[in-house]
Amino acid sequence: MKPTFADRDRPQLAQVTRKPTERQLEVLTDLWGQRVHELGEDVPDDMTFDDASGFIDHLLNYCPRKPRGEAQAAHGIRAGHYAWADAEGTVHFYEVARNGRIYVQAGPARHPYNGKLNEALEAIKADPKSAAALYGTKIGRCGRCHLELTDEDSRARGLGPKCASKSDW
């Protein structure tokens, strides 16, 4: 059969690769920390929309939840509020939620952080107690439990008395 005129002149459509949505990345990051799996430590950063959907489906349907208390925070950083000062002296604020999601705090707003470990998160991971204490001294709330620091010693330390006495840092 001979191709028709319409078939010969039809432009070839380029294959479009869709990136995952912000919501997909949020759900995937949560599931990654909450489920037992052997998919690696970090969510892959070079995936497509369809890849993200496949990972979410796999984690929801084939991977059991981690037992309570075993959910690991993102990148191995425990839940808490942290601050880090860069070389210029600018202080950056982070929150690691109990579900493992990391947020960057900017003023009263917080924004999800879905990237890999950066210089700030590496420093926080290396010394979480100091980063939490810096948060507490700058914000006036305990860097570990986020309760308001009410006395001078606690504000200077950046941690409330109970959190400062915890030995599991």
Helices and strands, counts by H and E, the chain = 7, 4
Q: How far is CA 21 from CA 18, 26, 49, in A?
A: 9, 9, 7
**DSSP assigned state of 155:** H
pTM of structure: 0.57
* DSSP run (H or E) holding 69: none
pLDDT, one tens digit for every residue, the chain (169 residues): 555 555 556 666 666 789 999 888 888 888 887 888 888 877 887 889 999 999 999 999 888 887 765 445 567 788 889 999 999 999 999 998 877 788 998 877 888 887 778 899 999 989 988 998 899 999 999 888 888 999 888 988 888 888 888 756 5
Tokens describing residue 1: 């059969």
